[in-house]
Every structure is written in structure tokens, then in C-alpha cells.
Amino acid sequence: MDIFQIVFPVSGVKTSIFIPPLVALVVSFFTSMGGVSGAFLLLPFQMSVLKYTTPSVSATNFVFNIVAIPSGVYRYLKEGRMAWPLTWIVIVGTLPGVFIGYYLRVLYLPDPRTFKLFVGCVLLYIGSRLFHEVTGKAAAGKSRSTALEDKFKQRAEEIKKQQNARLASGLPKDAVVRTISFSLLKVEYEFWGERFSFSTPAMFVLAFFVGVIGGTYGIGGGAIIAPFCVAVFHLPVYTVAGAALMGTFLTSIAGVTFYSIMPVREGLATSPDWLLGSLFGAGGFAGVYLGARFQKFVPQKFIKMTLGLAILFLAAKYIVQYF
């Protein structure tokens, strides 16, 4: 089967041409249900399986986001589940952080072993937040989340009965995000009969620090900000997912730009492997679309449990390897 093997000139990776899109398809299908493109899991795959460890792997991860995310964003837009005030705050706060993250990656974390420790710490935080939600210990805001969960379950069952167990696209008219107020101090919106609000400054500060971490890692920040919005701000994952994906898409464009045209260390590879990133992105494009389409039929608890366990496993592996 060597005829399907390909050597990617920029990264030096040698693998089957089908492996990147297939892996990305599976990963993105599940992660996009939680508002995450899957880039945070694909980077460890590239480092540990494909042995791609130079700083340009972060840039390649951004390429994946650019190709994969638009399909999921389209689904959330079509179904009216894009919380625009949250989206714009995430974008404005994250962009300057991505710029700083690029310099941290190139100047202070070029060594693969040290970078894996950084990745492990980021994954540990993400997984812990998600797992904390699954255990039921986060009581604040739980009743409203449970009520929304019950509505989605009920709606899914109705659709299955009405269409002989066939999945249908579309949601009831009241299952869309409606902005109630948007100011420099507070944002409030309505979703399926429930009102949710958060502090504008607090979300902006969060987005900035997420941008720094995301720019260093190569994930755009959605993997961090989505769980944080659910766990700390108690926003429903059904409304956070679209905003997180849109923010990740735009900040990934900025990330690729920084890594491509702003080299700060001579002889250090920072430009992305466009071919490898695009193949990952092709699989991710389909996975994100399907994940966004099927999200409304999958319980939040299952989404969080699946992501949380996978993330914690990777986190432990990378932290232990450092010591």
C-alpha cells in the first residue's frame, strides 16, 4: 500500500494520504458538539504519532481550523444558534492574545519536550473543567441547564417518532438565540425560553488570556473558552458552540499570518505545512458539519464526558513524559 504514502515537504511527515482526513473526521465530529474544532487533539496526534514537533506544527494546526470550521459555523448560523455578542467579544479579546502567544511559542517553547509539558497543562485544565461539570458538583446554574437538556431530549424523541426514527434538521422557532441587551458591562440573551447573561469585561479578559494560550498551542482558543463559558458563566453549550467555533476560525487566520510572515528566530521552522493542514482540514470540514448537525440530539453530559476523558488521558501522558 506504499502507493498511498506521501512525504510532506515542509513538515517531513511520511504517512498515508488518507490518515490525516480520516483522523480529523472522527475527532472533529465529537469535539465540534462542544464548540471545539478538534485542533487541540490533532496537535498531540501530529507530535506523538506523526513525529511533527517543530513550532510550525502550531501553524499547521491553525490551517486545519481555517479549512474545517466554516461547515460547522454554517450549521449554527442556519439554525439561529449563533450568539453574536459572545462571538464578537471572543474575537476582539482573543486576537491580541494570539499575537503574544506566537512569540511565546517561538522564543520560549521551541523545544518539543518543554512544549509537550505546556500542552499537557493546557489539556489538564480543559479536561478538568469538563469533568467537573459531568460529576454534578457544579451546582450553580444546573437547574436551567437540566431544563434545556430535557427540552432537547423531548424534541429529539418527537422528531424520531414523526419521521420514523429519521433525524431531521431544524429546531422549533423558539430554539434560537435572541439578543436582549449588549453593552460594555453586560450581555443578556434568550434561548428556548431561558435568559442567560454574563459580564462583558470578564468575558473579554478571559478571551485575551485564552488567545495567548491558543496562539502558543495552535488551537485558536475555542477548546478553552467553550468549557469555561459552560462551567463558569453557566451558558448552555448549545449556544456557546457556534460562538466558540466562529472565534476560533477568525483567530486561526490571524495565527497562520503571524507564523507565516513574522519569523523571529533564524533557522527555526514556523511556517505551516499547508498540504498536511489542508488534508486534516478536509476531514475536519465534514466532521465539524456533522457534529454541529447532530449536536442537538446528543446529551450535554455525554459530550462533556467523552471530551473530558480523552483530554485528561492526553494531559497525563504529556506531563509525565516531561519528568
Cell numbers at 313, concatenated: 488521558
pTM value is: 0.78
pLDDT given for residue 164 in this prediction: 46
pLDDT digits (tens, 9 = 90+) for 18-37: 999 999 999 888 877 766 67
23: left (phi over 0), alpha (psi -120 to 50) or beta: alpha
Q: How many other CB atoms are there within 10 angstroms of residue 321's CB atom?
A: 13
Q: In this prediction, what percent of the chain has a pLDDT beyond 70? A: 82
Per-residue pLDDT for 145 more than 60?
no
Per-residue pLDDT for 101 more than 60?
yes
Segment 80-99 shows an average pLDDT of 89
Q: Which residue has the higher pLDDT, 177 or 144?
A: 177
H, E, C per residue of 253-313: HHHHHHHHHCCCCCCCCCCCCHHHHHHHHHHHHHHHHHHHHHHHHCCHHHHHHHHHHHHHH
Per-residue pLDDT for 141 more than 60?
no
Which of 46-60, 99-113, 295-309 comes out lowest in average pLDDT?
Answer: 295-309
Cβ atoms 46, 273 nearer than 8 A: no
Per-residue pLDDT for 197 more than 70?
yes
Per-residue pLDDT for 43 more than 80?
yes
Cα–Cα nearest to 50, from 18, 11, 105: 11
Q: How many other CB atoms are there within 10 angstroms of residue 1's CB atom?
A: 6
Cell numbers at 30, concatenated: 465529537
Segment 39-44 shows an average pLDDT of 87
pLDDT given for residue 165 in this prediction: 42
Which of 64-68, 144-148, 250-254, 285-289 comes out lowest in average pLDDT?
Answer: 144-148
pLDDT given for residue 118 in this prediction: 92
CA–CA gap between residue 199 and residue 176 (Å, rounded): 21
The sign of the dihedral angle between the CA atoms of 207, 212, 218, 224 is negative
pLDDT given for residue 2 in this prediction: 63
Cβ atoms 318, 117 nearer than 8 A: yes
Quick one: pLDDT band at residue 166, thresholds 50, 70, 90?
Answer: very low
Q: Which residue has the higher pLDDT, 304 or 118?
A: 118
pLDDT given for residue 235 in this prediction: 86
Quick one: pLDDT band at residue 39, thresholds 50, 70, 90?
Answer: confident
CA–CA gap between residue 193 and residue 185 (Å, rounded): 23
Segment 46-51 shows an average pLDDT of 92
Domain boundaries, the chain: 24-167+175-322
Cell numbers at 209, concatenated: 488570556
Contacts of 187 (CB under 8 A, 6+ apart): 85, 86, 89, 179, 181, 197, 198, 200, 203
Per-residue pLDDT for 100 more than 60?
yes
Cα–Cα nearest to 72, from 245, 220, 222: 245
